[in-house]
Structure 1
């Protein structure tokens, strides 16, 4: 039974991704926590228990509290793809499950802070919500950490909305006390804005930013992205159940 649930869970995300409901990065997160050999399914972006099935039978395992933040949307876990100070744009590769080099930035700039995305969120472009995490040290690609939203930078990337959540690491003593983006020094805000306005210029790609918004707007954006993810996931789940009950007929078509 549990193996069947594991299969259905994997099928759900694969089908939803194919239909445009779940982004490739979200699908990869599931694949990273799904093992066909031992039957372990620990969904990194759905709140649920996990079950480990081996030769000795099934043993229920409680999902790690670090995976699901009860303080969300104010404080949340995020996955870091690109470390502070890097000129290399890394991203999760769907096929291999490894971090790959997407490209080296054309401009003579580096990422000013750790950059990644918030799992279990979805934006209008079918990608998770991007986040820039301010902290003292660079973080290795593929790590997740606890962050607090302090602001939002509205951004348009080649005509499409691509807003960035500005956050601080909730476990960095240098920044964890900060609650709002206005607490950052002006030069730090200028540094962030200048990076995103310039980092694609030599690729002939147009990016524009607007004035930073406060923590309230940032939390609202995170909450909206979480709700959008939840709604599309529920829609995909309903469609998958319908498909399993009516083989050969897809309600997602």
Structure 2
């Protein structure tokens, strides 16, 4: 990744496969015009029982944030801008490793456990909000078209680079700016850079170049943080595909589209049946 005179050098868009430039309108298949959801914390933070659970506002029925929150927020999208729903797992300035648990019923947010202990990021507190895109999945059995490596078996990660702290569990609407192709322990682990559409600078930040002008060095901070954050755990540095260069908005949307189709393959056509 190169920064020069407030400019960002992007990965060459001509190298992306035309076969994955999919119709992004297909994302809204399970879309509901109003999210109609709420969430609540259950159990004490810092314990094995802590969860953030999601429910339908009208009925009170529990839902899966991964499977039942739509990927695209159609009511906020325009002809020129696709707006995605974003699940915030970790507020910036925090270090408890929280994630949507893909293996537990209804996929609540919970703290990761490693070797029988609650996991905290030893490298330090997050510089930015961190979460994921619902209805996406990085397939561990198929090589990513750009990196050539298998996916990490999780929803697509998002680094929200806005100025505000977003509460854990909150679902926000974001527009993507680009993405970095992190290779984490040999697996593709995309880090999508996005901004909350309600952020004070959202109207001014529409590309990575805009981000660099208003918040100089942000892309480099993200790139470096995820490269070195596991060193404090006794592991080596992570690597990046594409020479560490970020991909642009259209390429990022194509990556998201591809992982959305992998998610549909994962759950099958009758996703409600799969949740039962």
Bin for the TM-score computed over the shorter chain: 0.5 to 0.7
Q: 1 CA distance for matches of 2:166 and 2:246?
A: 24
**Cα separation, partners in 2 of 1:39 and 1:134, compared to 1, 3 Å:** closer
The alpha carbon displacement at 1:119 in A equals 0.7
For residues 200 and 272 of structure 2, the distance between their equivalents in structure 1, rounded to whole angstroms, comes to 44
Displacement of 1:126 in angstroms is 2.6
| Greater relative contact order, per chain length (Cα 8 Å cut-off, separation 6+) | 2
What are the residue-to-residue correspondences of 1:112-151 with 2, within 5 Å? 112-124=127-139, 125-151=152-178
Using a 3 Å threshold, how does the CA distance of structure 1 residues 151 and 204 change in structure 2: closer, same or farther? same
TM-score scaled by length of structure 2: 0.59
Looking at structure 1, the residues matched to 221 and 183 of structure 2 have their Cα atoms a distance apart, in angstroms, of 18
Pairing 1:213–2:221 present: no
Q: How large is the Cα RMSD of the aligned pairs? A: 3.4
Change (3 A) 1:214 1:142: same
Rate the CA distance shift 1:177–1:127 in 2: closer, same or farther, 3 A.
same
What stretches of structure 1 of length at least 5 have no aligned partner? 1-27, 49-65, 241-253
| Alpha-carbon shift at residue 42 of structure 1 (Å) | 5.3
TM-score (norm 1): 0.64
- Provide the residue aligned with 2:218 in structure 1: 188
1:173 aligns with 2:200: yes
**Secondary structure, aligned partner of 1:33:** strand
Where does residue 100 of structure 1 map in the other structure?
A: 111
Q: 1:44 to 1:98 in 2, by over 3 A?
A: closer
Secondary structure, counterpart of 1:154 in structure 2: strand
Instruction: From the CA coordinates, give the structure whose radius of gyration is larger.
Output: 1
Deviation, structure 1 residue 116: 0.3
> CA offset at residue 198 of structure 1?
1.4
5+ unaligned residues in a row in structure 2: which ranges?
1-50, 113-117, 140-151
Match of 2:99 in 1: 91
Match of 2:55 among 29, 33, 40: 33
In the TM superposition, what whole-angstrom CA distance separates every residue of 1:177-206 from its partner, at most 9, and x where no partner exists? Answer: 322112222411111111101111121334
Size of the aligned set, in residue pairs, is 193
CA deviation string 1:58-111 (max 9, x = no partner): xxxxxxxx986113993111111111112332234537946436422222x321
Check the 8 A contact 1:182/1:214 in 2, yes or no: no
Secondary structure at the aligned position of 2:119 is classed as strand
Counterpart of 1:121 in 2: which secondary structure?
Answer: coil
SS of the aligned residue for 1:161 comes to strand
Comparing both structures, which one devotes a greater share of its residues to helix? 1
Judge which range, 155-164 or 79-88, deviates more: 79-88
- List per-residue Cα deviations over 1:16-40 (Å, max 9, x = no partner): xxxxxxxxxxxx99x74389xx783
C-alpha distance in structure 2 between counterparts of 1:122 and 1:141, whole Å:
21
Q: CA deviation at 1:213?
A: 1.2
